[in-house]
Structures are given as structure tokens and as C-alpha cells.
Structure 1
Amino acid sequence: MKWTTANIKHVNYTAKHELYVGTHTGSFKHLVPASDKTPYGQINLSDLSALDKDSRITSLAFGNDDQTDILLGRAKDAVEIHSFTEKGHSKKTVSFNAAPVVGLARYNDKLIAGFGNGQIQSLELEASDESEPVVITTGDQMDHLRQCAQVRSIVATGGKERQNNLKVYDLNSDGKQIFTSKNLPNDYLQLEVPVWDSDIGFVDGPSVLATCSRTGYVRIYDTRKQRRPVACFASEEHGMSFTTLVAKGNFIYTGTTMGALKAFDTRRMKTHVHTYKGFTGGISDLHLDTSGRFLSSASLDRYVRIHDCETTVLLYQCYVKSKATKILIRQFESDSVALEETVEAAELQMDRNVSENKSANTTSVDNEYEDMFDQMPTVGDSDNESEEETSVIKHSKANLKRRSLGQSLKNKKKKVVNS
């Protein structure tokens, strides 16, 4: 498929999905690509009037196995819990002692948050507002915190520099550190290999993890075997600065700052096996659906996309008006009532936006026309104007006569030369 910036939906994309998107401006949007009427309709779930410069969404994660709760973190010390039930949408806000939030998890009615200063804070959801969170220090800087989907008591962290490399913690043992990675041996100049674990992913279990780096490597660790990576991909190519990662089965999907989305096979890490096209900006987040077939992505070019993991076909693309920073994809369970209500709400919001744009355009056009007509001179029926019109007509007739006479003389000269 050719590169395009239009909103598109592939004819073969029939899966029932919905997207939750966090943006750089702080808006939290809901999209339903499964809708036939409004597949690009967007519903804003956040209060736009309360957003400020620190409202950028820095983390999105599902809070339970049913994927009905969404944990939302911003570049501030507040974390939002959005619940979606049959009764509707509700929101709860929990305050911490640090910022920004770089990762969220939920375990045993506890909210676990990772922060940029290297702390993991755990807080009881039912505790009073004055209760202090339990703090675990992982280093002095953290880029990401991930929770294992199979064993939810296991979380992993990673950041920049060797002291903030990959670490794994068990929340059942009061946050005990159960694994820390070891860097590769020094290079041929006996210099330390730079470490920057920008994102982490669990590969179908708590024992195997994958990390990507801003310095251009993708590594696989097995906590049961050794501290150093068991497989590694390293690139010196310009632009291979990895920002986000998601893993499923034998494949690892990574996004770069230059808008490249690549898939690696864990069984042979020498090079990538798939490349997904359509991006014009850096990729900020990736998320797979439960089946592992559909890969959703958020990009700084203000588009969200869904690709087929096997065929690499771009199935869905939608413009979300702001730089997309985080994304979640979920299977739409109820295909009747909930979908119709969402579609109707999206249609109402789109109609409202269209009417506002029309009214604004009409007002601006009318003002322009009024100013233009005010500046135009008034046309009158004076004798001087009639005389000028008569002289112009006579002058044009004289020009026509001269042109016809000149053409006839040219024709006569041609006949004389030919004879």
C-alpha cells in the first residue's frame, strides 16, 4: 500500500476493536474502528478545561485481566483509574509523591507506579488520603516499568546508564529484587558498552524478557540461565534508536525515533524479519491485541495505526489531532448496545464539531465580503462613462479593421512569390 496521510480502513479489516489513545496535550481519546458508520469518530474522556502543560499522558495500562479498568499516568504526581462497565464510565484519581509516571501496574488492590526518579511506589486503593506509599528504589533514573501479564506480581524496570539497567522485582516478597542484568563484555577498545533500556517486554512469561535501547540494540534475557543477554541484535545504522517494544510468542516488535517499525524473531536475532510502513514521525508506543495478530501503534505524526502482524498490511489509520504518546487496543465484547451508543456519541460530537466549523467559516467569510464590498467604488450611470464606453467600442472596431487589412496583404504577397 502506498504512503498516505488520509484516514483509511482496509476492506478486509473486520475485527471488532476499540482504541484508547493518550496524547501529548493530555487528552484521552476513545476510537471504535469496528464501527461501520464512524470508524474515525473520537470521544474525549478527559476534561479539556483542566489540562495544563504537565498533563501529557506518559503511561497507559490495563488494570485487570478483563481489561475493563485502564490506568492512566501523566507527567505529574496524579494517576487516574478509568473503569468501563455496563453502567458507564467512571474515574478515580490517586495522588503520589513523585512525577512523572513512566509505568503503572495493579496487584492485590494495590496501585504500583514507576517514576522517572527511579522509584516504585505502591499504594493501597482503599487506603485513606493521608496514607504514605511504600517506596522501592531501583536507581536514580527510570524510563519504563512493565508488569508481567501471566504473573502479575512480577514487574520489571529499566533506564539509562549501567546502574539503571534491567531489574525484576517480586511484589509478593515486599518488592524483593529477583534479577538484575549484566552488561556485555567491553568492546575491542576495552570500553564499556553503553546501556539504555528505553522499554521492556515480557515474552510470554516471567522468565524471558526483551529490552530495546536508544543506542540501537535489542536484547533478550532469560532469568533462569544467566545475567547477560542470551540473544542480541545491535545496529550501527543511523536512525535505529528504539523507543518502544512489545513482545508476543516468537516475535518482538520495536519502534524507532525515525518512524521505523520492525519485527524480530527471537530464534534468529541477526536481522529483522518484517518492516511495517506508513509512518512519518517517531513511534511512541505499541500494543498488541489478545490474539497477537493485530499491532496498534501511536506516532508523533498525530496518527494511530493498526497493522496485520503477519502480512504487514496497514489495516487502519486515523488522525487524532494531537501527538499520540500512548495506545491500548481491546476487543469489543458487546457488538450491539455498547457499540451503538459509542457510535451515536461519536456522531453527535462530529456533528457538533462540523456545525461549529461551519458557523466559524460562515462568519469569517461574511466579514470578508462585507469589507470587500465596503471598499469597492459605487458604479454610477454618468454621461462621461457612456462616452468612454463608446470610444472604447470605436477603438476596438478600428483595430479589427487594421488586422484584417494586414492579413489580406500578407496573403497577396504569398501568392506573388508562389507564382
Structure 2
Amino acid sequence: MAAPARNHVWVGTETGILKGIDLVKKQATNYTEVSSLNRGQEVHVMCFGDPQESEVLLGCRDGTVRVFNTEKAKFTEFHECGGGEGVFRGLGVLDNALITCVESGLLKVWKEGSNENVEVQVGPGVEKMRLCDAQRHKVGTGGKENDLKIWDLQRPEEPIFRAKNLRNDWLDLRVPVWIRDLDFIPESEKIVTCTSYHQVRIYDPCSPQRRPVLEVLFGEDPLTALSINPDGRSVVVGNSHGNMGVIDLRKGRLLCALKGNAGSVRSLQCHKSMPVVASCGLDRFLRVHSLNDKKLLHKVYLKSRLNCLLLTSRDKWEEEDLTPIADEEVKEEEDEVWNTMETVIDKSSGQKRKDTQDLTVEGGSTGKASKKKKKTV
């Protein structure tokens, strides 16, 4: 019998591999047979199947939901969750039912042992569907030209909240809508969204207005992921350029930046009880930052492009887990990545570059340019 998979972080990849990372032992384990992989197994969404976190559910490109049992350290179930078009944009569990939402806007509640599945059309272009942790029957949806809606799955006929777009801008042009991620603020009715137009917005369904009650701009690049700090006072956001920041939800200002990412952030998650946040993305690294002092605590190279992650609620990490890694250790890991890359030589233009590499061009954009040897310091 396989030993239980006790990991701190679970990661889903573009290649369809489920990886488990033990941050204490600094080990990463693949739980998917590489020989059986195909493009349809790309992991787009993940969630835990129960409060004990004994099951990890993976929503794949081919419309299947695969169930990984962490106690048996193997995949035990496969569910065909077809319907609608596009990839999964959300996955959750309500009692014994699966909840899925695909890009075309079809949200379905798959009741075990029943053919009477609930179907809800939430609008096309969906980028994110997320369940509320406190009220599991409540979900939020949003996407490209599909503004925020909150649904009660016990009464799914109409959304219980439908956001209203901002007023036209100073040129009297309509403000575009493109929600990329959203989350519910703990112990509150409020919900936070981030957009491709680098906006972080807070909506309050209890407010008379349906427009955002607060808006903050972060950076210049599209925001791709967010996660709310468990205390509900701040939110961590990441963008397509690899920048991450912590934003105060009360005063609407940037508290600090978390550095180290080199590619688009695909997923990030704050720990439920510890002041840390995990992130992953296109640069193939899993990183864990401290929210107290902004230090990079862990950095693990995982070889594949990373789409999504799950951070376990375990809070019995050993003390060395929270020791910031040294700059030398980060440099060694980066050097190892570069050393494994194959060197590509362009033979056809190599001689030409050699003759001109020490020359710079002076003068304007028109007329003949003079050449001068570049000084080196």
C-alpha cells in the first residue's frame, strides 16, 4: 500500500501532471504517470473534495474531473462532467455534489446518484467561478464582458446580486469589463474582483448601489489572480508580468510588493492560519512569501508551466519552514535552470555578429550613420 501523500502544496500543470510539494523535505513528487499524458489532461482548476483535505479534485481540459486520494496516494475516481463549451473556470464541492462552470457560462451541480442536475446559465466569456467558504451554496461568477454576479444555488433562477458597470469615462466611452478572478471577504458579504485592466474592486451586495464601493489600480499589466488574507483586511494580487502586491482593503492603498516572480502569475493562495502566500505561474517556479516581512521563504523549480495550486491548511510546519532562503541559494537554483538549457548557435549570422558586436551607431534616423568602437568599462 502506498504511503499517504503528506504535502504542503498541490500544483496542477499544463502537461496534466499533479505535483505534491513537501516544503520541509524540499521534495516535489509527480503523482501522474508521464507515459499516459495527453493534451486533454491539462489541469485548469483544483479544489479539495472534503474538509479533511483527503481528496484533491482536478478539472481537466477534456471535461473530466479526476479525484486523487491523498491517503492512498493515487487517483481513485474519474467523472465525466461535459456540457457547455470551453475549459473549466471553476470547480467546487457542495455536500456530496460537484459544482463545475465552463467558459461558455454553463454552471452545473452534479448530484451523486441522480440525473436531476441543476444547470444555470451565468453568461458567456466566464473567467472565474468561486464558491463562498462561509456559505457554500453561494457562488460568484465573472468574465470578459460578463460582470460580477452572485448566485444562490438553492434558488438559481436569478442572481441574488448583479453588479453594475461604472459610468462612462471622461470621453463618454463605455468602461470595458473583464473580470479575471474573484473571492469573498471572510465574515462579510463583500466580494473582491481583479480585472485585465489592472483594477481591484470591492462590491457590497448590502449597499444600495450595485457599482464598486472601492477601486484600486495596481501596476499597468492585466491582473490574473488574487487571494484574500484570512483576516479580511488585505488582498494579494498578481499580474501577467509577474508582479505581486498586497493591497489594503480598508484604505485602498498598496501595502507592499512581493518580488521574485519572472513570469505571468497563474494562481496564488493565502494560507488559512499562517501569514504566508503561495504563488505559481509560467516561469515554472512555486514560491512561498511571508506576508509579515515580504521575505521569500521557499522557491521550488517544477519543470512544467503551472496553472493552479492548492495550499493545505496544515499549520504544523517545522520552524525551518519559515526561514527566509538566502540570496545565494536562489542564485544557485537559477543557475541550475540556465545550465540545463541547450545552447542554440546561429551559424549563418555568427560571423556577421562577430564583426559588428563592438560597433555602435551614432547620428540621427536619416542619412548615413557613422560607426564608432564601443568603449568598455
- With structure 1 as the length reference, what TM-score do the two structures score? 0.70
Match of 1:319 in 2: 301
Q: Aligned partners of 1:253 and 1:43: how far apart in 2?
A: 27
Q: Mapping of 1:279-318 within 5 angstroms?
A: 279-318=261-300
Q: Mapping of 1:57-76 within 5 angstroms?
A: 57-76=43-62
**Which of the residues 224, 228, 238 maps onto 1:243?**
224
Match of 1:6 in 2: none
Contact 1:148–1:206 (CA<8 Å) still a contact in 2? no
Q: Aligned partners of 1:120 and 1:295: how far apart in 2?
A: 29
Secondary structure of 2:297 counterpart: strand
Secondary structure of 2:299 counterpart: strand
Q: Aligned partners of 1:200 and 1:300: how far apart in 2?
A: 21
Secondary structure of 2:154 counterpart: helix
Q: Mapping of 1:12-411 within 5 angstroms?
A: 18-35=8-25, 39=26, 41-85=27-71, 87-98=72-83, 99-127=86-114, 131=115, 133-161=117-145, 164-174=146-156, 176-205=158-187, 207-225=189-207, 226-234=209-217, 237-238=219-220, 240-248=221-229, 249-269=232-252, 271-332=253-314
Query: Residue deviations 1:58-95, cap 9 Å, x none?
Result: 1012232222222211122111122323x554421111
Q: Aligned partners of 2:95 and 2:316: how far apart in 1?
A: 28
Query: Residue deviations 1:350-377, cap 9 Å, x none?
Result: xxxxxxxxxxxxxxxxxxxxxxxxxxxx
Q: Aligned partners of 2:269 and 2:177: how far apart in 1?
A: 24
Secondary structure of 1:54 counterpart: helix
- With structure 2 as the length reference, what TM-score do the two structures score? 0.77
Match of 2:374 in 1: none
Tell me the amino acid that sits aligned with residue 124 of structure 2.
D
Deviation at 1:57, TM superposition (A): 1.0
Deviation at 1:173, TM superposition (A): 2.2
Query: Residue deviations 1:91-124, cap 9 Å, x none?
Result: 2111122341111011021100010111101111
| Count of residues in Structure 1 that have an aligned counterpart in Structure 2 | 308
Q: Aligned partners of 2:73 and 2:11: how far apart in 1?
A: 18
Structure with the greater alpha carbon radius of gyration: 1
Deviation at 1:140, TM superposition (A): 1.5
Tell me the amino acid that sits aligned with residue 243 of structure 1.
T
Q: Which has the higher helix share?
A: 1
Deviation at 1:332, TM superposition (A): 4.2
Tell me the amino acid that sits aligned with residue 13 of structure 2.
T
Structure 2 unaligned segments of length 5 or more: list them.
1-5, 319-377
| Residues 316 and 334 (structure 1), Cα distance of their counterparts in 2 relative to 1, 3 Å cut | closer
Contact 1:96–1:133 (CA<8 Å) still a contact in 2? no
Q: Aligned partners of 1:314 and 1:294: how far apart in 2?
A: 10
Q: Aligned partners of 1:206 and 1:91: how far apart in 2?
A: 37
Secondary structure of 1:210 counterpart: strand
Deviation at 1:148, TM superposition (A): 0.8
| Residues 185 and 335 (structure 1), Cα distance of their counterparts in 2 relative to 1, 3 Å cut | closer
Tell me the amino acid that sits aligned with residue 101 of structure 2.
G
Alignment RMSD: 2.1
Tell me the amino acid that sits aligned with residue 118 of structure 2.
V
Tell me the amino acid that sits aligned with residue 80 of structure 2.
S
Q: Aligned partners of 2:46 and 2:309: how far apart in 1?
A: 7
Query: Residue deviations 1:157-210, cap 9 Å, x none?
Result: 11001xx11111111224641111111111111111111011001111461100
Contact 1:60–1:70 (CA<8 Å) still a contact in 2? yes
Deviation at 1:146, TM superposition (A): 0.5
Q: Aligned partners of 1:335 and 1:263: how far apart in 2?
A: 24
Secondary structure of 1:232 counterpart: strand
Structure 1 unaligned segments of length 5 or more: list them.
1-15, 337-419
Contact 1:255–1:261 (CA<8 Å) still a contact in 2? yes
Tell me the amino acid that sits aligned with residue 170 of structure 1.
D
